[in-house]
Structure 1
């Protein structure tokens, strides 16, 4: 039986910002599971050694690496922005039905992150 969804995909052209890029990546992940194109998908939402900036969160002055070392509260705005795409993906997969069961129930998701705040790490960490 085919999957049923009411979510419309709008994947045309280059995404205007990182938020839209993440949404489109999640659209593609959901679509691959719906169509049974694959049973394994991965997506990297951010390379923590990269130069991604966060103007959409009101944090304009630094890249991730500097924010994780400076001890400011900017960090509190950034970490949830990396969890939300995964949570949104799970919510969408939960409402999509495949053979009368949620698509979410036939999958395993794992969110890995090295988004550490180095100013509060205990001494002698292995990393």
Structure 2
């Protein structure tokens, strides 16, 4: 990981702890990575989560099975995701999560935040800047 070569694993763990890096092995049964073309399915997998200064990184080790994208299970899940996205978006086309974020960051109500987002064509930073 850090070029430890033949370093003692206990010493490596101690050094990582000193740097504020927490490493956890996850008991994962399966990991699926979906791209535009294919799915990579890791069935016999080792997953490690590394938390460094609040940033989580996952390492997946295993031999994936390659599948074409758009299988039956993928189509069902894609349909569910689209339905959820549609539910979380009001008629203005601005996601509720964006409205809440702008309202919280700018310290204004949701109506003002939605209006600022609409004026900024959905640009979060521009909407917050216009309200501050």
Normalised-by-shorter TM-score class: under 0.3
* TM-score under structure 1 length normalisation: 0.21
* TM-score under structure 2 length normalisation: 0.20
Larger radius of gyration: 2
| Higher relative contact order (CA closer than 8 Å, sequence separation 6+) | 1
